[in-house]
Structure 1
Amino acid sequence: MSDYVIMTDSCCDLSAELAAELELEVLPLRLELEGRSYRNLLDGGEIGFQEFYSKVRSGAMPVTSAVNVGEFDAAMRPILEAGKDILCLCFSSALSTTYQSAVIAGRELEEAFPERKVRVVDSLCASMGQGLLVWLCAQEKKKGKTLEEVLDFAEGAKGNICHWFTVDDLNHLKRGGRVSAAAALFGTMLSVKPVLHVDSQGRLIPMEKCRGRKASLLALVDHMEKTAVEPERYPVFISHGDCREDAEFVAEEVRRRLGVREVYIHYVGPVIGSHTGAGVMTLFFVGRER
């Protein structure tokens, strides 16, 4: 069996404890906020999750940046020097240049280390949807599967990682061009909460509008009920923008309605949270299709 490392980036939004348990190598994306630069570390070591969302609620406007080629080179090179191969699962290429940077670094390093393998997967996932794909791949690795076998698994499974989410503040989606200024204004006045998903190409797509927060949370579970595959077998991942009570509400609904046994809850990290704002609520699960 080949010896290899599973690498990903911090937009997986896994907890630092879970990432360590899965033996992952995780590269942080970055953000600029109020004149300072921070790495999006899984443990919130440079900017805490609650601190970040407090600043966003106060009107701070973060700017984010991807992992660059040099950072991938610096992380990958010691692994290859140690005689190990790399399977790198990246944040959706539709939302970030992180994947492209990993591909470039991997190709250059394979030339420098012709006996080693660097395989890079465009997860087409975001937040803990990416985290769920990484978790599933780590389980395959634990079964003794080779790098190429887990690579094939990842490519086959990524289209079944369903992403559903809602936001509390439409203005952040307006900044990112996801809704118009007029829609954001009238939606905010009418307490309209959009429900969105990440499609098969890794893009954020508005799907429906709900009147009120609770209706939008229940809509996430409704979508899971329509498309989930063996919900009692696979874990459900939930991430949130500093609204733990809402996350617990959704977790209880999926347990009650679908017999889900295992739920992982964690924050939406500051890089993705920069584009969604505080109060974002997400639900990720294995389904027939996205």
Structure 2
Amino acid sequence: MREFVILTDVTCDLPQSYYEKNNIPVVPFMYTIDDVDYDGTFEHSLNPHLFYEKLKSGSMAKTAAVPPDTLCRFFEHALKAGKDVVYLGFSSGLSSTYQNACIARDEILPAYDGAVIRCVDSLCASMGQGLFVDLVLRKAGEPDIDANALADYAESVKQNVCHYFTVDDLHHLYRGGRVSKTAAIFGTMLGIKPVLHVDEEGHLIPIGKVRGRKASLDALVAKMGTKIEGQENPYVFISHGDCEKDAEYVAKQVKDKYGIKTKIINPIGPVIGTHSGPGTVALFFVGNDRSEKKL
């Protein structure tokens, strides 16, 4: 049975130490802020706090999908070492990177007889993608599992990775087309905070709105309660846009209400943060499904 490599993207928003500990190569996403390009690697990226300070001061950021040739290099590195690849990609509902990975796979696989590259569209984002990777990594530790079996498992569990977000500033959602300009202006004036999730197709969708920051954080925890009955949830992941105290508040509420600990609290990186903005808090867990009524 051939060895395999689990490969994923920097959009998982996991700590660098996590990837190093588990020997997971990370595909970087390029982003630009203040007309300066960053390649998205850990060595050449802005500290999250500095990135969010720039956004707060009015700097504009933009991101780009990973091109096929970059993904080819990652795939070939594993194949040349005699290893198959299970690529757990950023949601196709939010980026064309997954499609580019499929293009890269089809370009190089014919040159490696008997090799396997499985590209899995996670339909996840931020540490939802990170939680998905963690689930798959745990499965990979079981005996007698190969790349195809692991990818099949990944496909079977991805719809159970639930994402719930809230933001403190509607401006960035307006820029991304998630709310109208009028809603952003009046919502800001009235202290309205949206609650969003990532749906079954991997899109970021508004599902509710509340008044006040604390109420929006409590809404994330309440949403979790509607999804976890009968599910094994040994831990949750929480990410944030430079608002760690709010993330810790959510973690405490989850522990107090459901007895579930938070394994990792980590900042949302610049790639996701470009679109969600400072003040975002996101809660990720294993649930029954992702279905929600849309606004």
TM-score, normalisation: structure 2: 0.95
- Secondary structure of the 1:245 match is helix
- 2:154 maps to 154
- 2:84 maps to 85
- Secondary structure of the 1:177 match is coil
- 1:12 maps to 12
- 1:121 maps to 120
Cα separation, partners in 2 of 1:158 and 1:229, compared to 1, 3 Å: farther
Between the aligned residues of both structures, percent identity stands at 47
- 2:226 maps to 226
Q: Point out the more displaced range, 231-240 or 248-257.
A: 231-240
| CA offsets 1:187-221 (integer angstroms, 9 cap, x no match) | 00000000000000001110111100000000000
Question: Does the aligned pair in 2 maintain the 1:232–1:260 contact within 8 Å?
Answer: no
Question: Does the aligned pair in 2 maintain the 1:40–1:269 contact within 8 Å?
Answer: no
Question: Does the aligned pair in 1 maintain the 2:120–2:155 contact within 8 Å?
Answer: yes
**Unmatched 5+ stretches in structure 2:** 291-295
Question: Does the aligned pair in 1 maintain the 2:6–2:85 contact within 8 Å?
Answer: yes
- Structure 2: how far apart are the matches of 1:287 and 1:44? 35
Q: Point out the more displaced range, 256-265 or 11-20.
A: 256-265
Q: Point out the more displaced range, 45-54 or 246-255.
A: 45-54
- 1:59 maps to 58
**Unmatched 5+ stretches in structure 1:** none
- 2:109 maps to 110
- Secondary structure of the 1:165 match is strand
Shift of 1:20: 1.6
- Structure 2: how far apart are the matches of 1:204 and 1:278? 17
- Secondary structure of the 1:227 match is coil
Shift of 1:66: 1.2
TM-score, normalisation: structure 1: 0.97
**AA aligned opposite 2:172:** H
Shift of 1:44: 6.7
- Secondary structure of the 1:248 match is helix
- Structure 2: how far apart are the matches of 1:255 and 1:268? 22
Shift of 1:233: 3.9
2:206 equivalent to 1:237: no
- Structure 2: how far apart are the matches of 1:141 and 1:64? 31
- Structure 2: how far apart are the matches of 1:15 and 1:215? 28
**AA aligned opposite 2:195:** V
Shift of 1:76: 1.3
| CA offsets 1:13-65 (integer angstroms, 9 cap, x no match) | 11111122222111111111111111333x47421111100000001110100
Cα separation, partners in 2 of 1:44 and 1:189, compared to 1, 3 Å: farther
Shift of 1:230: 5.6
Shift of 1:231: 6.5
**AA aligned opposite 1:83:** G
**AA aligned opposite 1:22:** N
- Structure 2: how far apart are the matches of 1:262 and 1:192? 27
Question: Does the aligned pair in 1 maintain the 2:38–2:44 contact within 8 Å?
Answer: no
Question: Does the aligned pair in 2 maintain the 1:251–1:263 contact within 8 Å?
Answer: no
- 1:3 maps to 3
Cα separation, partners in 2 of 1:215 and 1:231, compared to 1, 3 Å: farther
